[in-house]
Amino acid sequence: MKIYENEFMIINLINQDQTLELLWKPKTASMTTSDFKAALYVYACFAIEYHTPRLLVHIHEFGFRDAMSDALTEWRNQHIFPKYNGAGVIKFAFLGHKEQLPPQDPPQTDLANFQTRFFSDRLELENWFNIED
């Protein structure tokens, strides 16, 4: 069920309200840092509102190049991770083309009460989501 859309993203609630899905649009190539922060904030607020234990971000069409800058990583750690933790998120997955993804999953951080993994295969991702921890 679509719950939000703007020029940069679509947010859907799927799997009986168990997963909050963010689909980035090609227009993200023209995003500013402020646009990116606002998008993450909106996504995090919906995670809180719906208490979704799983977050899924599709990066197939993602074009914003500064997303992993040190400054944005620090901002995300301080402002977004606490919202995900407060929402009760337990699993966070990125789905993209194999060449878009880092070679390994990110290390677990004390700032996140959830696991994060990268996937290029939708079935593998769904299997991981369905494993109870």
Q: What is the CA radius of gyration of the chain?
A: 14
Examine the pLDDT at 82 and tell me if it is beyond 60: yes
Look at residue 108 in the predicted model and tell me its pLDDT.
Answer: 83
List, for residues 99-125, the tens digit of each pLDDT value.
999 888 888 888 999 999 999 999 999
Q: Is the pTM of this model over 0.85?
A: yes
Whole domain around residue 104: which residue ranges?
A: 65-133
- Whether 6 is in a domain gets the answer no
- Whether 24 is in a domain gets the answer no
Examine the pLDDT at 133 and tell me if it is beyond 70: no
- Whether 110 is in a domain gets the answer yes
Structural tokens at position 58: 């599709």
Total domains present in the chain: 1
- Mean of pLDDT values over 70-94: 95
- Whether 27 is in a domain gets the answer no
Banded pLDDT at 86 (limits 50, 70, 90): very high
